Amino acid sequence: MASMNEVAKRAGVSIATVSRVLNNSDSVNEATRLKILKAIKELKYQPSRVAKRLRSKSVSSNLLGVLIPDIQNPFYVDVLRGIEDVAYRNNYAIIMCNYGQDEKKEILYLDILQSEAIDGLIAAPVNENDQRLKNIIKGGLPVVCVDRGLAGIDVDIVWVNNEEGAYSAVSHLVKSGYKRIAYISGLPSIPSSRMRENGYRRALENAGLMDSGLIKYGNSSYASGVELCAELLDMPNPPDAIFTGNNLITLGALETIHKRKKQIPNDVAIVGFDDMFWASSLNPPLTAVRQPAYEIGKRAGELLIQRITDPQRPCIQMTLNAELMIRSSC
């Protein structure tokens, strides 16, 4: 890998001039410019992003960090795609950190990310009190949160209206005549789990159908969906419908329901939070609350790049709408 020095030598100029044409910062004599360009081509010179990053925190080093809880969740995959598209268009690379809901891992990754001198970070923190992340924000790193906010600190956020989404889903269940509607929650420490529970409660209270015994708390995973759905079906007086708190829980619950040969929606109806692009190929086609995941990622990416450019811009919280996709599981 040729360095700037070699280019300079070959072109018979100083490295400063090479740097200038590379960043077309100052004006350079056209003839020398051409000479340099020629040398660059001949040497197949590629600038080192590392040296650039080390040299100047002031200039953009073109590296973004993404910190997400669960890469296996299709929702985050779509968010990631959105971020990645924006990053690519702006010549940013992405360091992707998947902490698997594990706080220790999150901390390590946050350290690494800082240590890599990233320009900005898009994160879905473990919980809203994430002290590490708050400190990083206070330290001046541009950060935008997705899907999950942070308490007591001003930060850009992109998420959906979780409560409304849940409310519309559960209301749909109520309107369809279901009486014993259960909720399989994700990790209660995640704000969105609680927001969704609020929507669920509001819908049921309005209908006079609320029964706290029908709420199960899990850890947002496929396994917890499998397990908690089984607990629900094992009740002496099982629910006639289930509202599942996320993607993975839905898939897990489906697994259990099918294993027991229960009919959906006749034996038990189901509506899930989070749509999947193949939801209409599930058995039966799944009614679900669709979060515009790709859009969330895209917006977050745009906000982050804006903030990198202009750190003074006031924080904004962007709430996108979740939409109920009615298919045939309830």
Partner DNA sequence: CTGAAAGCGCTAACAG
Partner DNA sequence: CTGTTAGCGCTTTCAG
**Does 1 help bind a second copy (rule: CB under 8 A)?**
yes
299: three-class secondary structure by DSSP? helix
Q: Which of 216, 129, 203 is nearest to 165 (CA)?
A: 203
For residue 230, the partner it binds in DNA, a second copy, none, with Cβ less than 5 to 8 A by kind, is none
268: three-class secondary structure by DSSP? coil
For residue 263, the partner it binds in DNA, a second copy, none, with Cβ less than 5 to 8 A by kind, is none
Residue of 20, 84, 168, 289 interacting with a second copy (CB under 8 A): 84
DSSP result, 37-76: HHHHHHHT----HHHHHHH-SSS---EEEEEES-TTSHHH
Q: 228-246 in b/e burial notation, b at 16+ Cβ within 10 A? A: bbbebbeeeebbbbbbbbb
Residue 311 has which token pair?
Answer: 């750190």
Q: Which is nearer to DNA, 76 or 92 (CB)?
A: 92
Owner of token pair 């002031």: 58
Which neighbouring-strand residues pair with 272?
244, 288
Owner of token pair 């927001």: 195
For residue 321, the partner it binds in DNA, a second copy, none, with Cβ less than 5 to 8 A by kind, is none
**Does 54 help bind DNA (rule: CB under 7 A)?**
yes
**Binding segment toward DNA, per CB under 7 A, in 6-14, 83-91, 193-201, 226-234:** 6-14
**Binding segment toward DNA, per CB under 7 A, in 48-56, 184-192, 295-303, 307-315:** 48-56
**Does 15 help bind a second copy (rule: CB under 8 A)?**
no
For residue 22, the partner it binds in DNA, a second copy, none, with Cβ less than 5 to 8 A by kind, is DNA
42 Cβ contact list (under 8 Å, min separation 6)? 10
Q: How many CB atoms lie within 10 A of CB 306?
A: 16
**Does 114 help bind DNA (rule: CB under 7 A)?**
no
Distance between first and last Cα of the chain = 60
**Does 46 help bind a second copy (rule: CB under 8 A)?**
yes
Q: Which residues bind a second copy (CB under 8 A)?
A: 1, 46-51, 53-54, 62-63, 71-72, 74, 77-78, 80-81, 84, 88, 93-98, 105, 108-109, 111-117, 139, 222, 251, 254-255, 258, 277-278, 280-285
Q: Which residues bind DNA (CB under 7 A)?
A: 1, 3-5, 12-17, 19-20, 22-23, 25-29, 31-33, 47-48, 51-52, 54-56, 58-59
